[in-house]
A and B are shown apart, each in its own frame.
Chain A
Amino acid sequence: MRLHGRVVRRGAPVEGAYVQLIGPSGDFTAEVRTDESGRFLFYPVPGRWRLLGFVPGGIRIEREVDLGAGQTVDVDLPVVEA
């Protein structure tokens, strides 16, 4: 089971963003830095997860994802400029 995706700014990948995975319990579960393709990857279990993205410049992105049994989910975290 995988939860993966990209951090993007105007469709272009953002390398060096930090993506945090918050578990169904509300606690931090894992954090990764996006690669040159803006990608991140987690191996969670079924449940409702929250993704938090941090991008240089003080930008914070938040998105909830529901993951069913056996699912692989691909999500983009778009950077919204202030």
Chain B
Amino acid sequence: MTTVDSPSGILVSTDEVARRLGDPQLHVVEVDEDTSAYEKGHIPGAVALNWREDLQSRHSRDVVEPEQFARLLGERGITENDEVILYGGNNNWFAAYAYWYFKYYGHEAVRLMDGGRKKWELEGRDLTADVPSPAVATYTPKPANTAIRAYRDEVVAGIGKVAMIDVRSPEEYSGVLAAPAHLPQEQAQRNGHVPGARNVPWSRAAREDGTFRSPEELREIYLGQAGLQPDQPVIAYCRIGERSAHTWVVLHELLGLPGVKNYDGSWTEYGSLVGVPIEREAPA
């Protein structure tokens, strides 16, 4: 399916990326759930960010400090003003997480390749194992934009007051599964969901080829069927914050809802907290 650039301008088609390969102004960055995928083959000229090794703090469960984020990008030849296009596997889960992460650290010129790695591959486009060696650049870090990130205390305090969207599959939401079905099932201490959270799986925002649905379809799903109000605060969560980043992209960036936050601690944190309420439909 041919895609067009989104009205908000944050989505780039595979056609456009293919046309611009070799453009020195363009920095293509792969961020995959399968962190070995890049080594096997990637878009020519793309550099990689490893969500596990590069984007998680070694000292605590958290994002890296702004100085470390700046160092990571500088090592990949990227400055704070450069144009970055992110893509990845699994319908851009981790690319969307990286997009949210870039916005968290104030990088404005970042976009997502619509459909991600799957669409690129299924279209039979070129992949290479050649790893580029860009000249190191100076990336000046910016303070974090904490308005787009939710922490556990805000989630617990928001039960019954703040709209919460659990974007995992219905099987995870109900407590039947603890994780996506392609992963071994050992995660949080308890299964279920935050009381009152509505289940709107991230996948409803995507077509089979991984591209985002049209703004009209997305409005119907989130503002119509899910009943979100444009100006209300919303917290999206999943298991570890990457699928909810996909939904954050939809709500905050594509639909322009200003009060949406991603709870990146998500179920692996909430489902292991002592003393917090949990709802589940599956037998305990």
A interface, CB within 8 angstroms of B: 3, 16, 18, 20-21, 23-25, 27-33, 41-45, 52, 54-58, 60
Contact call B171/A25, Cβ cutoff below 8 A: yes
Contact call B185/A43, Cβ cutoff below 8 A: yes
| Proximity bits, B19-53, A CB within 8 Å = 1, else 0 | 00000000000000010010000000000000000
Among B122, B124, B181, the residue within 8 A (CB) of A42 is B181
Residues in A whose Cβ lies below 8 Å from that of B124: 56-57
Contact call B122/A56, Cβ cutoff below 8 A: yes
| Proximity bits, B162-190, A CB within 8 Å = 1, else 0 | 00000001110000110011111100000
> What's the Cα separation between A30 and B209 when bound, in Å?
14
Closest B residue to A60 by beta carbon equals B208
For the complex formed, measure the closest distance between the CB of B89 and the CB atoms of chain A, giving whole angstroms. Answer: 7
Instruction: Tell me whether A21 and B182 are in contact in the complex, defined as CB-CB below 8 angstroms, given that A27-B170, A45-B171 are known contacts.
Output: yes
Tell me whether B204 is interfacial, beta carbon within 8 Å. yes
Known pairs A43-B181, A54-B209. 14 more at Cβ < 8 A?
A16-B121, A23-B171, A25-B170, A28-B203, A30-B183, A33-B89, A33-B118, A41-B182, A44-B171, A52-B208, A54-B208, A55-B122, A56-B122, A58-B122
Contact call A27/B204, Cβ cutoff below 8 A: yes
Q: Which 9 pairs from chain A and chain B are nearest by CB?
A: A28-B203, A30-B182, A25-B170, A30-B181, A30-B180, A42-B181, A29-B169, A44-B181, A29-B181
Among A3, A29, A33, A41, the residue within 8 A (CB) of B34 is A33
For the complex formed, measure the closest distance between the CB of A47 and the CB atoms of chain B, giving whole angstroms. Answer: 8
Contact call A21/B181, Cβ cutoff below 8 A: yes
| Residue among B124, B169, B181 with most chain A CB within 10 A | B181
Among B118, B171, B180, the residue within 8 A (CB) of A54 is B118
| Proximity bits, B67-111, A CB within 8 Å = 1, else 0 | 000000000000000000000011100000000000000000000
Closest B residue to A18 by beta carbon equals B118
Contact call A27/B181, Cβ cutoff below 8 A: no
Among B90, B185, B203, the residue within 8 A (CB) of A27 is B203
